[in-house]
Structure 1
């Protein structure tokens, strides 16, 4: 045992000595050698893009303008663009033809005098006043036509919406193939509904949608139903017959709280729509379909869903183009107790204040769609409109409500105090409101007032929930820039003229992308303002730019209700209208840089009162 332990200890001792001896054989670290030759520098990387503040600032320049020389007669109303011929198309309702305006030589530099420039010229595109169409029985019938109301272009296909000779009669859509000069070869005509007022192709070109407004005659002897015509397109050729989405049996309600039996009659549909906030105004006995008058259509990017403004009813309809149905959504009310509004024209100055218990109905005219995060959003220009015919009118002033010779009603205590505080009949009394919602409980006391339009633009989600509204921006910005010329009419330079009505009247809207940002462009019909908003993120929309191509220093007056708007015998004077600039912007068309004749993003604006088409170039500063 002792011998074994000794041997183990010896082996362990030898092992430790071996380890220690091995360590002691390593030499000291040597001194550091000289540095090696540096390697070659790598190629320089590309500079990053310069950062930009949001919202970005834009240059807005007039780079061309066409003038018909016709004033007050809607001689340049709806505009479109044909890429292949590099031409703007504009409806001249006075001569009932289309102006084809070449933009092939459009400059990139601003014109010298934008308000009276006439650097662009046109050729006339004419169409017949009688066409043959197929009816539902397959028989060919002839239609007498009246005025063209709208145009749409998809690739080289032009569609023209034309009313019947009598506006309550059946209208038609005329289809043409366009050549490289913008002239057309007739394809066929397809019958539509009464008063086809606006039309648009789906993004994939498979359908043309027509908003048939169906307005009554002024005596209400005839009141056609509003409807949507859907014309299928195959290889650029339209079907002989349009399908129809009607505003009665094709109406649906998506709420799971309702069954089909809850809206299977006109009375039930009207009750549900009224309860949701849809406004009905008309003689007793008119139906839902007669009251809902389609105004403007915008289509989602997938070409399966579209949206139609039902202006007078303060609603938007959601069109399912697969099921061929419509769901009508009320737009709610804008509380003028939260925003500043100029409500009287008597003081002839720009002046704003809030009005508790006074509400605006959004009532959009033009609408447009775009996508964000894969979802569709709808932009609306909230012009406002009333039903105002000889046989029925809802259009009144606030002072009429308490006038013993008019409605002889009483204001609530709060509303009476507001009325007195603002100047009575010369203050709040001037504001135009609807009589259709005066006294819903019939107790003789008026507690709330409902004015036309929202004097703004809005963004709605695909279920027609409000995402953004520009509030009182338009009035305040216009007043800040134009001073006392703000809220002028488009028939004379008279400031504050429209404050008691619908303000500047946001009429036209379009949307487009510039350098990766999405912008909304809104034109005001009366005052002529152009507003630009960055709407890239609809939940962070922001004002970017304002422009007004109008000369407020000249004196003129015309009346577009007269057969001759410039009739000197009626006291009119149009001698300075050629120097007044653009009057009555009615439509806007955005042209991307990719399709632009001069390589920069453009706006086409049709001005119905001045009879001019103005081309704006919009670029980043």
Structure 2
């Protein structure tokens, strides 16, 4: 029986195998075609890069006070839809409602005064706690900076004497922008700028610590760190000092290599940090924190050390600072106008002449998860009665001044450009002359980069705008370029620091990231697409100034418009915006009129101008 079953199974398997080897049948007829699908929507047309932008003035407030810093640092309070601006002349804050801001440009952006303000005042004396928790009274001077996080306002106020300890005043703001005092917290000497961290957990204060003019008192620069818990500030600030809190990350160095002031100075000088001051000043006295910006994670911040041509990296976890020198700009690779004597826009390269970047304002943003820092490379010198580094090139060779010799190459350049009326006019530092003390000057170092730069999180430069600002401004304004903000006389800042890039901020419009840079002297606004920091590109230029207005003022006088001193401010109201000091970007999501805005505080004209920036 089993044998029969096996034979039957084998027979079936053979039959099936034979079937699988047969030829394919003829192909059947094609089926009926299916119906076409519904057409899809057209895609959004692509946009060329860089994208073109509309820049329009949609509101302006004028204090009517000229040359007295009546409009300095600007901020925005979202809840009340108000701009806040420091008025140093009246030592108060102007609160300017933007709730009814239009979406159309004003009729005359130069003279517009369509916005109004209410005064936000603060006391002349406050009580603060010292490090032992004891209440002490403090007499205050001028407000220097403001910052707003949600409904919390912080005001940095100097001491009655600028070399004394200052304070930060905290207020909660209501829906109209009015404030309720919370407390005052002691800071360092001359708290010049402050900012909240993005997560609202800290307020960081740049204590500049400037000397008095005779250098009898020269306080140390420092960073105050005020912790916030549930929106309530701590009673006492922490501090990052510029002595024992200084850190060097190189594995080639041990802590013993920088455990004294002399060692720290030697390391920093060798790296390119510029020191300028009377003999005997310390590193902490010479380094003067100027402006702070914080990374998105609130763990790292960056502080500009303007006069020293450096940026400090602040570790907010370890409470340390690392100083990074910014290097020098080679003016043989870029062109600049270096004399005001010809009174025309004229550019050329200058071999063996260098610029110190020396940023004032800085701003941080993220790309591919990394932090990048934007810097407005204004330049600044130490120029006090007891010590000044400020000289002109002509002073180098003047027998009654420094009586040094220029190198063969520099002397040829000096002669070729017109001597004392050419290269001789350029302002330079005396602190970096004749490094080898042989009596021959091989290199000259001028103030400022006349540009803006982008630096990576390690403070390595990835972009610089080169000579764009000078060339673009001259192309648009003609011989009015490099004009001072105290009179309409073109080319009169070419020998100093050019237009002086002062203010900078960063923001996003329609998915692209832009840098906004204001030049203090000439009043230019430059916009760059910095979405990719390695492919930054110029986008637009605007200048809200009337160069036909006839005026002259002197902001070094107690009365900048003093007719007895030959001043005439009668036409200043027709001059437009003079001396942009700060910029604040407001995103479309937070904007009162639904479009991205820029707030600009103009300290010489005493005006706050609101720009609308949209894609064309």
**TM-score past 0.5 threshold:** yes
Distance 1:343 1:263 in 2: 39
User: Which residue is equivalent to 2:593?
Assistant: 598
Distance 2:484 2:521 in 1: 5
User: Which residue is equivalent to 2:5?
Assistant: none
Distance 1:383 1:293 in 2: 15
User: Which residue is equivalent to 1:8?
Assistant: none
Of the candidates 243, 250, 256, which is equivalent to residue 251 of structure 2? 256
Distance 1:136 1:265 in 2: 25
CA drift at 1:38: 5.6
Of the candidates 118, 121, 142, which is equivalent to residue 113 of structure 2? 118
User: Which residue is equivalent to 2:406?
Assistant: 411
Structure 2 residue 291 is the aligned partner of structure 1 residue 296 = yes
Paired residue secondary structure (1:578): helix
Question: For each residue in 1:194-222, what CA deviation from the matched residue of structure 2 results, as whole angstroms up to 9, or x when unmatched?
Answer: 00000000000000000000000000010
Structure 2 residue 177 is the aligned partner of structure 1 residue 176 = no
User: Which residue is equivalent to 1:130?
Assistant: 125
Paired residue secondary structure (2:142): strand
Paired residue secondary structure (2:557): coil
- Note the 1:167-246 alignment, pairs <5 A: 167-246=162-241
CA drift at 1:46: 2.8
Of the candidates 31, 35, 55, which is equivalent to residue 60 of structure 1? 55
- Note the 1:458-537 alignment, pairs <5 A: 458-537=453-532
Distance 2:484 2:32 in 1: 82
Paired residue secondary structure (2:48): coil
CA change 1:600–1:406 in 2 (3 A) is: same
Paired residue secondary structure (1:198): strand
Structure 2 residue 342 is the aligned partner of structure 1 residue 351 = no
CA drift at 1:48: 1.3
Of the candidates 376, 389, 396, which is equivalent to residue 391 of structure 2? 396
Paired residue secondary structure (1:189): strand
User: Which residue is equivalent to 1:275?
Assistant: 270
Paired residue secondary structure (2:39): coil
Distance 2:138 2:188 in 1: 12
Question: For each residue in 1:432-458, what CA deviation from the matched residue of structure 2 results, as whole angstroms up to 9, or x when unmatched?
Answer: 000001111111111100000000000
Distance 1:23 1:142 in 2: 106
Of the candidates 376, 380, 386, which is equivalent to residue 381 of structure 2? 386
Question: For each residue in 1:588-613, what CA deviation from the matched residue of structure 2 results, as whole angstroms up to 9, or x when unmatched?
Answer: 00000000000000000000000000
Structure 2 residue 138 is the aligned partner of structure 1 residue 143 = yes
Structure 2 residue 460 is the aligned partner of structure 1 residue 427 = no
Choose 1 or 2 for highest CA Rg.
1
Distance 2:358 2:83 in 1: 29
CA change 1:438–1:111 in 2 (3 A) is: same
- Note the 1:79-98 alignment, pairs <5 A: 79-98=74-93
Distance 2:363 2:438 in 1: 41
Question: For each residue in 1:227-261, what CA deviation from the matched residue of structure 2 results, as whole angstroms up to 9, or x when unmatched?
Answer: 00000001111000000000000000000000000
User: Which residue is equivalent to 1:11?
Assistant: none
User: Which residue is equivalent to 2:317?
Assistant: 322
Question: For each residue in 1:15-42, what CA deviation from the matched residue of structure 2 results, as whole angstroms up to 9, or x when unmatched?
Answer: 9xx99xx999x9x989x68x84863x53
Paired residue secondary structure (2:437): coil
Of the candidates 431, 440, 443, which is equivalent to residue 445 of structure 1? 440
Moved over 4 A (4+): 35-38
User: Which residue is equivalent to 1:573?
Assistant: 568
Paired residue secondary structure (1:61): strand
Distance 1:600 1:295 in 2: 31
Distance 2:44 2:270 in 1: 53
Of the candidates 360, 363, 369, which is equivalent to residue 368 of structure 1? 363
Question: For each residue in 1:123-171, what CA deviation from the matched residue of structure 2 results, as whole angstroms up to 9, or x when unmatched?
Answer: 0000000000000111100000000000000000000000000000000
Paired residue secondary structure (1:482): helix
User: Which residue is equivalent to 2:6?
Assistant: none
Distance 1:23 1:351 in 2: 89
User: Which residue is equivalent to 1:455?
Assistant: 450
CA drift at 1:44: 3.4
Distance 1:564 1:372 in 2: 47
Of the candidates 559, 564, 585, which is equivalent to residue 559 of structure 2? 564
Q: Which segments of 5 or more consecutive residues in structure 2 lack a partner in the other structure? A: 1-14
CA change 1:142–1:23 in 2 (3 A) is: closer
Distance 1:44 1:79 in 2: 51
Question: For each residue in 1:30-83, what CA deviation from the matched residue of structure 2 results, as whole angstroms up to 9, or x when unmatched?
Answer: 9x68x84863x5343232111111111100000000000000000000000000
CA change 1:185–1:425 in 2 (3 A) is: same
Question: For each residue in 1:524-558, what CA deviation from the matched residue of structure 2 results, as whole angstroms up to 9, or x when unmatched?
Answer: 00000000000000000000000000000111000
CA drift at 1:121: 0.4
Distance 2:244 2:343 in 1: 49
Q: Which segments of 5 or more consecutive residues in structure 1 lack a partner in the other structure? A: 1-14
User: Which residue is equivalent to 1:5?
Assistant: none
Distance 1:437 1:212 in 2: 26
